[in-house]
Amino acid sequence: MIGYLVLITIGATLLALPISSTGEPISFIDAFFTSTSAVCVTGLAVFDISTVLSDFGKVVLMSLIQLGGLGIMVVSGFVAIAIFRRLSTGGADLISSEFRAQPADATLKSTILRIVRMVLFIEVIGALIMSTWFSIAYDYDVLKSLWMGTFHAVSSFNNAGFALYSDNMMGFVSDPVISLTVCALVILGGLGFPVIMELRRVGWAPRRWTMNFNIVMFMTLVLLVAGTVFIAVLEWSNPETLGLLDPGSKILAAFFQSVQTRTAGFNSVDIGAMNPETWLGIDALMFIGAGPAGTAGGIKVTTFAVLAFIVWTELKGDSAVNIFGKRLSRSVHRQAITIALLAVAYIAFSTILMQLTTNETTDRVILEVISAFGTVGLSTGITANLPDPALINLILLMIIGRLGPLALSTALVLSDRPKLYEFPKERPILG
């Protein structure tokens, strides 16, 4: 928590400097909101970053996105290794627990270096593809092509959703190269470092895949397809979103938006013009999020899958929860339920606060709140018009969403004292 707050404060201070804006200096509350949105890789913005921020401000923003995406633990561990060639035992335990999928003989140093190299490699590939296409298809000069490609590759892989265009990515709604490259980077970042590392290490060997790998890959495929179909069906004839596009572009745009609900936040169509029914589906997808230990937010697909399997097991009357041929640890049951209920509580409380401080409709407020909690960045366009109390509410929600409800609550109330007694067991009547 302290690490995130320090980075956010430094970022806000830099963004509030006159050199960071093209006109009047940005107010500190707007700078703090933008810094929080970047560090928490959310993408919500209270002003048009493409016109308000100077080149220096945009570089600061991209740096905050990169640091936030990698995570304070990995960055601090990498710096410690580079400077001191060692880490404290506590720091080693934290990072090791965060990235469980690693070879048995891997050292902490090699794990962190592998993560950093992997992130940079993926971002460079994405930047080269987009830079080349910007130069060929849009006639950008070399420097502009490289800058636009690099910024959007970093923003995409880190699931940030910031774009250097006033209409975000709406100008590329029918461009398969830019749209699919952004989607690929978002998906890779959302899978989580453990999944990518395991895929690289194990390859196509299903018998060696872990439960975490199977759940993340399966749920990612299911939600991407379901989200694409859902958005396409509901928005197919909407003249303000997909209605005026050709069939191929409609499917591409629907897939693009389905990917972005996984916590990226880019938009190739006007989210504010979508049907309220579509917003509700997007709310659900943003709440679930993507893979753990990556650049995505939400309660994570693993949490959702565990809850779904618990329900299915209870309906079948089985005693143990089995997922992909392996039995689920009972402690994970409690963790999944805790994460989900805490997330619902945070969202409900924040929605009430937002309703008390704004005049926006409930459906728009809920989407904004879940977007902040899930560190997504999709918006119906109300962010820039929110009063300061509502912005502070969203700032806190983005921090909570990035750190995770369980991690935050545990950090606040954790006690190391073991209990030396147990109460007698009894059960209430349910249902």
Q: What is the pLDDT of residue 415?
A: 52
Residue 349 near residue 377 (C-beta atoms within 8 A)? no
Q: What is the pLDDT of residue 89?
A: 57
Q: What is the pTM of this model?
A: 0.89
Q: Indicate the residue type of 262.
A: R
Please state, in angstroms and rounded to a whole number, the distance separating the CA atoms of residues 39 and 43: 9
Intervals of the chain under pLDDT 50: 100-105
Q: What is the pLDDT of residue 325?
A: 85
Please state, in angstroms and rounded to a whole number, the distance separating the CA atoms of residues 374 and 384: 19
Please state, in angstroms and rounded to a whole number, the distance separating the CA atoms of residues 221 and 195: 14
The encoded tokens of residue 28 equal 């500190």
**In this structure, are strands 322-323 and 326-327 parallel, antiparallel, or unpaired?**
antiparallel
DSSP letter (8 states) at residue 208: G
Burial class (CB within 10 angstroms; exposed 0-12, middle 13-18, buried 19+) of 245: buried
Q: What is the pLDDT of residue 101?
A: 46
3-state helix, strand, coil in the chain (%, to 5): 65, 0, 30
Q: What is the pLDDT of residue 420?
A: 83
Q: What is the pLDDT of residue 69?
A: 86
Q: What is the pLDDT of residue 97?
A: 52
Q: Is 159 left (phi over 0), alpha (psi -120 to 50) or beta?
A: left
**Considering only CA atoms, which of 355, 302, 357 is closest in space to residue 333?**
302
**CA of residue 315 relative to chain centroid, distance:** 32
List phi, psi (to 5°) of 399: -65, -45
